[in-house]
A = this chain, B = another copy of it.
Amino acid sequence: MVPHLVTALNGPINELEARVLESMPAIERWFRLEWMEHTPPFYTSVDIRNAGFKLAPVETNLFPGGWNNLTEDMLPLAVQAAMAAIEKICPEAKNLLLIPGQDTRNSFYMTNVARLRRIFMLAGLNVRLGTLDPAITESVSIDLPDGDQITVEPLVRTERRLGLKNFDPCTILLNNELSAGIPGMLEDLHEQYLLPPLHAGGSVRRKANHFQSYEEVAKKFAKLLGMDPWLINPMYASCGDVDVGEGASLEAVKAGADALLGKIRRKYKEYGINEKPFVVVKADSGASGLGSMTVRDAKELDALDRRRRDLSALAGSGPQVCRMLVQEGVPTYERMNDAVAEPVVYMMDRYVVGGFYRIHADRGVDENLNAPGARFVPLAFAQSHHLPRPGVKPGASAPNRFYMYGVVARLAMLAASYELEATDPDAEVYD
C-alpha cells in the first residue's frame, strides 16, 4: 500500500498508534461531541511530522492548495464531504464563487483550482472563478497541463454583494490566503457567506494563537487517552514584537529559544531520546511555513550581523517589526526513496478526504520541506484512512498509521476552529 515508504519507526509512536486504534470509538465520539460545540473550518490541510518518538502537526492551512496532489480515488469522498458542508452552511446554494490565489499564471497552482472547481461542481453547484488581480479586467481562459481549461473572471462588487458578471453567488470560497492584507472588496458583504472568514487571512492570523488552541485540544485529547500531551504537541514560545530591522534586539527571541530548548532537552531525557533538540524560529504571521530558521543553540542567534538579514527575509515584505514564534522542532523520520518525507492531510468539513507525502531530496530531517524543489506523492491515503485494521501489530499497517495521522490532523483542525472562535472580531462576548 505504501511501497516506497521506508520507515523504521518504533518506540512511543507505536504505543501511541496502538492506543489510538484501541480507543477508536472513544476518539470518534469525542470528535462528534466537539463538533456539536464548534464549527469545523470549511477546508483544511495539515502538515504532520512523525519523529518516531513524537507525532505533531507543524502547519495548519485554512486556504489549502495542492488538491491536485491527491489521487482521483479521493474525489468521491471529497464530493460527499463537500455536499455535507454545503448542506450545513447554505442548503439553498446554487452558485459558488471561488477566488483563487493571485498566481493565475502558475499552471500547477491552477490545476489545484481546477480540482477544487470539479469537487464543488460534482457536489451540485454552479462554480465560477473570480480573481482579486486588478490587472485582469475581462475573462481569461487558462490552458492547464492536463488538457483541462479554466476561466478566471474579474470580480464585480456592488454595495452589498460580490459576484461576477451575471453571476450572483450565495457562497464565496477563498483559496487565496490574503497574505498581503484584506482587500476592501471582500469587506462588508451582506447575505453572502465568505469562507474562510476574513480573520483567518494570512495578514491577521497568528500562528501563536493556533498553537495555543492546539495545546488546549492536545491536552483534552491526551486526557481522554491517558497519555502525555507532549507526544502530539509541539511546544512553542511567542516572543512578541521583535525589531528585525537595523539595530534589532533579538534578546526576546534568544531567551525564548533558550528556554524552549531547555524544555525539549528535559522531555528528551524523560523519554530517553538521544538526539540534539532544535527549535524553529519563524514569523508569527504570514505565508505558510515559508522562511523558517532551524536553531540548535540560542547562541546561534548571537551572530546577529549574519542573522539579521535572514530575519529580515523571514519578515518578508512586511514591516521591520514583527512578531516571532519559536517552535519546538519535530524531525521527520519518514523516507521515500531516501528523500525526507512528511504527510499532509486534507480535510473537507470535518472529514479526512485525502492526503499525500511531501518529499524533498535536498532537505534534512530538521528542515522545512515546504520549499522549492518539493515533490508530492499521492497515496491511497483517503481510502486507507477510513480502513484501519484493529489488531494488526503497531507500525506494521499503513492504514493504521494513516488513521493516526488523520486523528492528529483533525486535532489541528479542531484547534483551528477554537482559534477562529477566539479571534472572531464579530464574536458576541457573554462575560
Contact = CB atoms under 8 A, between A and B. Distances in A.
B383 A76 contact: yes
A122 B386 contact: yes
Contacts of A79: 386-387
Given A76-B382, A77-B76, A387-B76, A123 B87 contact: no
Most chain B beta carbons < 10 A, residue from A81, A122, A385: A122
Contacts of A24: 121, 124
B94 A25 contact: yes
Nearest to A78: B386
Contacts of A73: 73, 383
A240 interface: no
Interface string A384-413: 011110100000000000000000000000
A166 to B, nearest CB: 15
B382 A92 contact: no
A397 to B, nearest CB: 14
A93 interface: yes
B383 A35 contact: no
A33 B94 CA distance: 12
Interface in A72-93: 73, 75-77, 79-81, 83-84, 86-87, 91-93
A382 B383 CA distance: 13
Contacts of A387: 75-76, 79, 122
A304 interface: no
- Copies of this chain assembled into the complex: 2
A167 to B, nearest CB: 13
A1 to B, nearest CB: 13
Nearest to A120: B25
A44 B385 CA distance: 25
Most chain B beta carbons < 10 A, residue from A26, A386, A388: A386
Interface in A239-254: none
A43 B386 CA distance: 19
Contacts of A225: none
A80 B81 contact: yes
Interface of A: 24-29, 32-33, 35-36, 73, 75-77, 79-81, 83-84, 86-87, 91-94, 121-126, 351, 382-383, 385-388, 390
Given A24-B121, A75-B383, A75-B387, 10 more contacts: A25-B124, A27-B124, A28-B83, A29-B94, A32-B83, A32-B87, A73-B73, A77-B80, A80-B80, A83-B351
